[in-house]
Amino acid sequence: MPRTNRLPDLVNRALKDGKVSRKETAAILANVEKDKTISAKERTSLDKFAKLPASEFEGDRFDSRDLRARAIDANALASAGFENRTTVPGVTVAFPDTIHTDKLYSGGSVYFRNVDIHAADKTARAAGTIDFTYGKFKVHVPVTKGMDMELALTRVAKQISNQQWGSVGDVLSIDGTRRRSMRVALTGDGTQKPVKPSDLDPTPIRPWSETVKTPLPIATAFVKKFGWGDDDQFE
């Protein structure tokens, strides 16, 4: 029977001898990740590797995430929890089912789902909260009537970064806070355990310039000449 590059055939060959080689891993991942999304059928194929012990995978010094790790991530993302409790008019929060994949550094890839947040209005029409949970992360930002929604989404981004950036790989991007839209990537690591309320930072955002108590002489000279820049609403 001729050898093919169909995913079922690649999977069956890799499982046949009880040891998944680096070459087999590379062939299967190339097939699964070629369109940068993981379909339900592809996730079912990967799931066969999630159930194997780690000892059955040949290590790769260039890519420590084997088929087993990626399969576990895909399953975790597919079942990741999401609850939207937002009450601010015109603010939408969505967690599409699509699992994406992207390359990191020279060899490895990461699987993730996007959380999309959008504010339709420039200022809040009514008071409420931007309040939602995705994976193990929770966001709760109070919004007052007339509040600039760019500022509100900046506070959302601050809460997300306080939680996700504490763990390598949890977040791929926080985009577009100044355009009243943002997209946050949740990886498999972000589905593992809940976050305590104490992990949230309720303190208001202040310009970076206000957080510097005693600037160094060089920094002072730089500021006098060039100013703080356009992004001083971020810390």
- CA-CA-CA-CA torsion sign (198, 135, 148, 234): positive
pLDDT in the model for residue 64: 62
126-140, 184-198, 207-221: which has the minimum mean pLDDT?
207-221
Q: What is the DSSP letter of 194?
A: P
Q: Is the pLDDT of residue 87 over 90?
A: yes
Q: What is the DSSP letter of 152?
A: H
- Please state the rounded mean pLDDT for residues 187-212: 49
Q: What is the DSSP letter of 204?
A: P
pLDDT in the model for residue 160: 87
Most confident of 54-63, 132-141, 186-195, 224-233: 132-141
Q: Is the pLDDT of residue 194 over 90?
A: no
- Please state the rounded mean pLDDT for residues 186-205: 54
Number of CB atoms found within 10 A of residue 217's CB: 7
Q: Is the pLDDT of residue 89 over 60?
A: yes
Whole-angstrom distance, CA of residue 109 vs CA of residue 137: 22
Q: Are 129 and 152 in contact (CB under 8 A)?
A: no
Residues 6+ apart with CB under 8 A from 117: 91, 92, 93, 130, 153, 156, 181, 182, 183, 184
Q: Is the pLDDT of residue 207 over 50?
A: no
CA atoms within 13 A on the CB side of 78: 16
What's the burial of 191, exposed, middle or buried (CB within 10 Å: 0-12/13-18/19+)?
A: buried
Q: Is the pLDDT of residue 179 over 90?
A: no
Burial track 21-47 (b if 16+ CB lie within 10 A, e otherwise): eeebbebbbebbbeeeebeeebbebbe
- Using one digit for the tens of pLDDT, what is the confidence trace for 9-63? 999 999 888 788 888 988 999 899 999 999 999 999 999 998 888 888 887 666 6
105 vs 47 pLDDT, higher one: 47
Q: Is the pLDDT of residue 76 over 70?
A: yes
Share above pLDDT 70 across residues of the chain, in percent, rounded to a whole number = 69
